[in-house]
Amino acid sequence: MNFEHLVQINDPANPMLESLSREQLWRGLWQRVENPMIFLPGLETCDFLERDELALVRQLDFGNACIRDRVTFAEQQWLRFEIEPGPGHAGGILTITLEEPQPEALFLRFNYSTTMALDGEDGRYAEYVKSAYRESDLETVRVIRLLLAEGSVQ
């Protein structure tokens, strides 16, 4: 299954929504890498196994499941989470891209790629998964805004 969607970050038509800069949004997204427990419900621990200037490898322990992923990035441009297949999950890739088609018109593009089929039983399940992805991504943006408002993101 391949699935992507956009989340609008800044909306000039909505004065109640505080605009974020590209740098602020990146710092918030980086928190998803460095402090994933804030963003991933049920995550008990995160261990960093490898780290260099281009990538890092994490072990995410959800109690009943351990997931290992590799995070690569181009600063203020994109993040890619490559989840290794393991017991009970097929793995997949999530790429989050910062898009700014015009100054201050900031969006996040979430692109998911998994081995889930889009037909048969998997097809009905895929719609549920897409909905869960959308909700999780909206929650990511909500948490980023909260962290920035609290001053928790430097």
Q: Specify the CATH number for the domain of residue 136.
A: 3.30.530.20
As given in the structure block, the two tokens for residue 89 are 């999950």
131 CB-near residues (< 8 Å, 6+ apart) = none
> 110 lies in a domain?
yes
| Residue 6 pLDDT level (bands cut at 50, 70, 90) | very high
> 77 lies in a domain?
yes
Other beta carbons within 10 Å of 34 = 12
Domain extent, residue 84, equals: 2-40+72-146
> 66 lies in a domain?
no
Count how many residues are written for the chain.
154
Find the DSSP H helices in the chain: 22-34, 120-150
The span from the CA of 84 to the CA of 86, in Å, is 6
> Is 31 in contact with 38 (CB distance < 8 Å)?
yes
Main-chain phi, psi angles of 148, to 5 degrees = -65, -40
Residue 38: per-residue pLDDT: 94
Query: Nearest CA to 136 among 15, 42, 17?
Result: 42
pLDDT tens digits for range 125-143? 888 889 999 999 999 999 9
> 33 lies in a domain?
yes
> 154 lies in a domain?
no
For residues 115 and 74, the model is more confident at 74
For residues 120 and 111, the model is more confident at 111
Number of domains in the chain: 1
Relative orientation angle of helices 22-34 and 120-150, to the nearest 10 degrees: 110
